[in-house]
Structure 1
Amino acid sequence: MPELPEVQALAERMAEAFAGRTVARVQVLSVQVLKTFDPPVSALEGLAVEGVGRYGKFLDVRTAGGPHLVLHLDRAGWIRHRSSFPPKPVRPGRGPLALRLVLDDGSGFDITEQGTTKRLAAYVVTDPKLVPGISGLGADPLGAAFTPAVLTELASRSRRRLKTFLTDQSVLAGIGNAYSDEILHSARLSPYATAAALDEEQRTRLYRAIREVLRTAVAEAHAAPADALKAEKKAALAVHGRAGEPCPRCGSTVRSVNFADKSLQYCPTCQTGGRVLADRRLSRLLK
């Protein structure tokens, strides 16, 4: 799933491509993708694009004096810039193409989703805050307003495990499964530790890890070619998706805890005092 760093990189790339351009045509090619009906998607056509922003994992395409196109890529969605499109309009079908956005110079973007589980979402709204997922977002972990004091307040109110605390979008917006594993590894904290039970020194480590891991990932995503964003993200991860490999810090074997369609990875030596976590506890962790 694209998380804050990848979404930020996509927003910057889209903003560059949209600069000075007008929306010529929007084609909805998957019945599941569009979650709103008023304004209609056709209301975007003929409008200049003012910029592209980010709310957590949401992309916000702003038009001049008109509605916003808000996108959430979920697990399998992606956006590809196209310098041109075939002259013949594509027909709706069962393929990965969900939405096509064509600009006045013939360039644009294809929004795609792989797999059979369709969770990619597009909204046409007068205000991004009308999107339910945006209205309930918590603090932006890279925003100026996110300070150590804010983290202390948020953690003190939460009896959740750290893994769930970090990935709860109503607490911290934009952190997902991969970067939560990386943050906890960097902070040397167990994913099963309770947020409210952290002492001051542990909270300081957690705050620093959140900022450093995400800032580094944003810089790496910005430097990577658009088509290589996913591969570059995977290559840069220390523990997530690396079960059975040596921990890059201590050399111990990275372990995994699996539950349903999710998993977490961690280093027992660095994070849990050598203790191997049991899967049976994950049912509570991922609620």
Structure 2
Amino acid sequence: MPELPEVEALTDFLTEHLVGRRVARVLPVAVSVLKTYDPPVTAVEGARVAAVRRHGKFLDIATDGGLHLVTHLARAGWLQWRDRLPDGPPKPGRGPLALRVALETGEGFDLTEAGTQKRLAVYVVRDPAEVPGVARLGPDPLAGDFDEERLAALLTGERRRLKGALRDQSLIAGVGNAYSDEILHAARMSPFKVAASLTPGETHRLYEALRGTLTEAVERSRGLAAGRLKSEKRTGLRVHGRTGEPCPVCGDTIREVAFSDSSLQYCPTCQTGGRPLADRRLSRLLK
């Protein structure tokens, strides 16, 4: 799933390639991708792109006509830039193509989504705050006013475990499954630690890990073409998706806890005092 660093890099890339150019056509291929119908998606045709912005994990393409094409790439969605789009309209089918945006220059991009669960979402709105997911967003962790004191206030009274709290977009915007694992590894904290139980010293460690991990990921991705961002994310991850590999810090074996539709990875030595966490899926099978 694209998270804050990848969407930030896409924002930079599209700012360079879209701003000042006129939208010729917006061609939905999968009906499920459109989440708004008034204004229609065709209302942005003929407008020039005025700006590209990020709201958490949402991508916002603003036009000079006052409309915004807002996209959430969800778990399996992606944006593929094309220097030259194919001739003719795309054909509906069972392929990954969900929506195409064509510029007058002949360039454009495709929104694609792999798999059978179709969650990629596109909205056309007059104000990004009309998108429910954007309206619910918490503060951006890379914003200038997001300091340690603000993080401490967000965690006060938060009875959830750190893994779930970091992924809650209404608490902190932009962090998903992968970077929450990376942040907790950098902070040397268990993903099951209760958020409200952090001491001031632990809050400081978490804040430094949160800002540092995301800032480093953004810098690694900056300037890359859209097609290279996925591979850059994978190569930059230290624990997420690396079950069975040695921890790059201590050499212990990275372990996994699996859930119904996701999993987390962690290092026992760095994060849990050497104690393995119970794998909920395996525990259910043994009952």
Give the TM-score, by structure 2 length.
0.96
Look up the match of 1:155: 155
Aligned partners of 1:108, 1:255: CA distance in 2, in Å? Answer: 41
- Percent identity, aligned pairs only? 59
Cα deviation code 1:107-149 (max 9, x no counterpart): 1111111111100000000100000000000010101121111
Aligned partners of 2:153, 2:58: CA distance in 1, in Å? Answer: 25
Look up the match of 1:11: 11
Give the TM-score, by structure 1 length.
0.96
CA apart distance, 1:226 = 2.5
CA apart distance, 1:223 = 4.1
SS in 1 for 2:215: helix
Gaps in structure 1 of 5+ consecutive residues: none
CA apart distance, 1:157 = 2.5
Look up the match of 2:169: 169
CA apart distance, 1:215 = 0.2
Task: Write the letter of the residue equivalent to 1:276.
Answer: P
CA apart distance, 1:86 = 2.1
Look up the match of 2:267: 267
Look up the match of 1:278: 278
CA apart distance, 1:92 = 1.6
Q: Answer yes or no: is 1:193 the counterpart of 2:193.
A: yes
SS in 1 for 2:137: coil
Cα deviation code 1:5-43 (max 9, x no counterpart): 000001111111112201110001001000000001111
Aligned partners of 1:24, 1:240: CA distance in 2, in Å? Answer: 40
Aligned length: 283
Look up the match of 1:222: 222
SS in 2 for 1:32: helix
**Aligned-residue RMSD, C-alpha:** 1.4
CA apart distance, 1:282 = 11
Q: Map 1:38-117 onto structure 2 (within 5 A).
A: 38-117=38-117
Aligned partners of 2:57, 2:240: CA distance in 1, in Å? Answer: 19
Q: Answer yes or no: is 1:124 the counterpart of 2:85.
A: no
Q: Is the 8 A contact 2:68 2:128 kept in 1?
A: yes
Cα deviation code 1:71-108 (max 9, x no counterpart): 00001100011111222211222111100000111111
Look up the match of 1:236: 236
Aligned partners of 1:138, 1:85: CA distance in 2, in Å? Answer: 37
Q: Is the 8 A contact 2:29 2:97 kept in 1?
A: yes
Cα deviation code 1:248-270 (max 9, x no counterpart): 00001111000112100000001
Aligned partners of 1:166, 1:142: CA distance in 2, in Å? Answer: 14
Q: Is the 8 A contact 1:44 1:66 kept in 2?
A: no
Aligned partners of 2:206, 2:282: CA distance in 1, in Å? Answer: 21
Q: Is the 8 A contact 2:3 2:174 kept in 1?
A: yes
Cα deviation code 1:35-60 (max 9, x no counterpart): 00000111101101001100000000
Gaps in structure 2 of 5+ consecutive residues: none
CA apart distance, 1:227 = 1.6
Aligned partners of 1:53, 1:273: CA distance in 2, in Å? Answer: 41
CA apart distance, 1:164 = 0.3
Change (3 A) 1:194 1:277: same
SS in 1 for 2:101: strand
Aligned partners of 1:211, 1:23: CA distance in 2, in Å? Answer: 36
CA apart distance, 1:202 = 0.3
